Each structure stands twice: as structure tokens, then as C-alpha cells.
Amino acid sequence: MAGAGAEDLVQWLEAKVAEQTVEWRETFDAMPAAVLILDEERLVKRANAAAARLFHRSPQALEGISFATLVPSQFNQFGEPSPPGNPRSGGYTLAAPWPDGQWHLLNLNSVADGRRFLWMAQDISQEKRSEISALNRKQELSILFDLAELLNHAIHKHALLQQALNYLLPRLADLWGGKVERRGGVFLLDAAAGILHLAVNVGLPVEFVTAEAKIPLGHCLCGIAAAKRRVMTVSGTRRAQAKGYPACICESPGDYAQSIIPLLGEKTVEGVLFLYFRAGHRFNAEEKDFLSSLGRLLGMAVYNSRLREELKLRASQDELTGLKNRNEFQRLLEEEVKRALRYKRPLSLLMLDIDHFKRVNDTYGHPQGDLVLRTIGEALRESRRASDIAARYGGEEFTVLLPEVGLKAGVRAAERLRRTVGERPVHLTKETITVTVSVGVSTLGGPVSDAASLVEAADKMLYVAKASGRNRVEATGPFKSEGSTAV
């Protein structure tokens, strides 16, 4: 067949197939390309097994069918449409929706002798999909790598999430094209309350953001994704509701596809990331795997940020009372003294000591004494202003720093606190008791010119209060305590 023209090739192949020998029929069917031999009316005369697979019909069922009814007339950028009912001569590539509902990418060759056509098609859809998948995978890995680098430089949880969302949305739009809407957000989980709280967002309506969005765990798609710890996807919110999924608080007007990705930490769910896509988009397995990877990366970043915050809090907090510990108080005291001196603002300090606390420990035991300390801590937290700094200074001693408060107002604050503690019952295991406190007050100014002298002056006044009968307030000035000397 060397040097054969188109007419010779068509006639030769048709003649060989027409011989109906087993050998040639097997050879024809074994050809990897789909082959159709068409007569002058463009009707199929012969079809091999590959053509049968491409058109989802048996070779016998294809015979006699018009070529125009088999090959789609809508081609995309991979090829130009042929004249209706005629295969295009020469080699070319086209992509078109096929009867199976999928788009197929075909390498085509056809030859003709004027009356008959030989049409051959090699389906390269899977190869192209694999090529695109590999390219997408490379882009996905690039996104994950760049996101990990970004997250490494973020410290605070909310800043971390806002930066991540601002980075992700345009990158996902580049990766998946028009499928992605550039809006979404993150809910963080309050595990103790079982509530998801909106933390950050991009592109959400103002009325949604200002509504203090909260979702109970297990409610709506976001709550379900968090509870089940798996990616939830819907191709359309209206369709999802028709199937029985509850409406989400993160839904906005219109129909769209959604993906809700749980943020997984170390054996924890930290929250969910929710993204919007074009309505009708169906998420394939590779997309879901990538979204899961995003959730794990973001989840671990949130988890690590939360651990850092907890460790910082523990380093600055007294474990028993929940107040600031002595080291943290000393740091804050230095800052407040510098600020007060720089701007010439008043600053007062209260030092409290529980009266006869040793007697409580000796009578009821140290665990019951801890209950007393916790009760004093609660009283201080509830009585202070937001700007006041309360701390457990050591043992049964407590301090309260009062910015913008002079000596007279400081004494009044100390008296209120003394009365509050004395009136608060302490519920021990077997009985309820009350305790009292003695308070020393000092104010920055005059000889009290730095943090050390402010503490020293308050401590001296506390000693005076103790020596004067306890359950009273003493200050570095002519202020008489309203306290009783009763023990």
C-alpha cells in the first residue's frame, strides 16, 4: 500500500473488511482508533469495535446510520465544525459533547475518494484529562505551599485567617476559572458551647456580617460539615434544600454551588471554611481532595495559633484564680507607671490580704482554702473596671492596679471591694463561711515615683491595716477606714 492515494486506501480497506475473513475482522476491530467507512450518501457501511465504544452502539447497529446524526455539530476551540453531514478531510482535533453526556477530545483523520469516506478518530480525552489533572495538581501544590509560607508569618488567629482568605480566593479563581465566586468566610468553633462564630469573610453582604452570625454544631451545612469532620459540597443551594438539607445562615440570595471544608487540627475541629461556586458546578474527587488538604492546612494553623494563645495566657495567668500572675502584673505595672508619668495621669494601687487565712487552712484544710482564694478571685474580676488590672500577688495576697484613679477614688474603690468580699459567702464542702480582707492603698506622686515605691507604699499601708485590727482600708493619706475591727 506504499504510495497509495485516498481512493486506493478506502477501496483497499473496504475490500479487506468485505472479505469477512476472521483475520481481517479481528485486525479491523483491534485498531485502537474508531473507524467508520461511509458510502456516497454518508451512511455508515462498516464500523469497528473502537467506533462502537465511542458511539455506545454495536458495530451492526451503526451500519446504515447517517454520519450527521452520529458526530456532534458543536465543536469548541479545539477544532472547526465541518459542513453538516460531511467529515472534514485531513487531520485535525476537535472537542464536542458526545451522546454519553461527556465532552470528548478527538484526534481525527479522514480521507475520501469522492464517493466514499474513511473516518478515523482517536479518543484522547482521558490523556488530556490526565494532562490537565497533572497541571492542576501542580498548581494546587503551589497554592498549598505558598499558603503554608503565608501562615508561618501570621501570629494572631483572625489575622491569619483573613490573610489566608484574601490569598485563596483569587488563586482558586485562577485555578478553576469561572467556577469560583470570589467570596467566602470562616467560622471558628467554640467547642465548649458547641457554637460556630463567624470570624472573617470576603464579599459577604453587610446585613450578614452585622447579624452576629452563629451556627450550632450540627445545624445547616456548615454545622454538619464541622460535626461530621468532612467536606460538604452542593451543586446548588436550592437543590440542596429540596433534598432536605437545612438552609444555611451563610447563604445569600440566588442559587450557587457551595463547599464547606472542616478545619481539622490535632484531633480537633477548629471551624469551617465556606466557599461559593457557580451554580451547577459538580465537585469531582480531585477537587474534594484538594479542598480537604486546604482544610487540614488551615486547621493546623488555627490549632497552633490557639495553642500559642493558650500558652501565653497560662504564662500570664494564675491557674487557681484566673487572675494575672505576679510576673505578668509586674510587667503591666511597669508599663502603666511609665504611661502615667509620661502623660501626668493618676495611678493607684490596692494590695489586699485575706484576714486569718492560715486559720481557714488549719481548720478546713488546704483544698477548702483554695475555694476561698477562688471566691476572692471571682469578687475581684466582677468588681473591677475593664481597665483595672487584678492579680494574685502571692499566697493570700492580691493586687488591683487602677489607671486614671487618684488616692481619694482609690480609697473608695478599696472600700467597695472590702465590703463586697465580706458579704460574699464562700461555699465549702460541708459549710458556708465568710472571710474579710485588709487593704492598703497607694498613689503615684511625690516620693512614690516608680513601680517599686508604689508597691512598697501599698504594702506598708496593708501592714497598717492588719496592725489596726484587720477588715479595713488604710491609705497613704488622711482617709479613715469605714472598716470594723471585728474579727
Which cell numbers in the block locate residue 125?
480525552
Among the listed residues 482, 457, 458, 451, the one whose alpha carbon sits nearest the alpha carbon of residue 469: 482
- What is the b/e burial string over 116-130, where b = at least 16 CB atoms within 10 angstroms of the residue's CB? bbbbbbbbbeeebee
Cβ atoms of 193 and 265 within 8 Å: the answer is: no
Helices (H), 74-121: none
Which is the catalytic residue, given 181, 396, 415, 474? 396
Sorted by sequence, the CB contacts under 8 Å of residue 25 that are 6+ apart come out as 17
Whether 396 is catalytic: yes
Which cell numbers in the block locate residue 484?
470594723
Which cell numbers in the block locate residue 418?
472590702
> What is the edge-to-edge ordering of all strands in the sheet holding 269-277?
214-216, 195-202, 180-190, 269-277, 257-264, 232-234
The whole-angstrom separation of Cα 138 and Cα 127 is 17
The whole-angstrom separation of Cα 384 and Cα 329 is 15
Label each residue of 1-69 as H, E or C.
Answer: CCCCCHHHHHHHHHHHHHCCCHHHHHHHHHCCCEEEEECCCCEEEEECHHHHHHHCCCHHHHCCCEHHH
The whole-angstrom separation of Cα 408 and Cα 441 is 10
Positions annotated as catalytic residues are 396
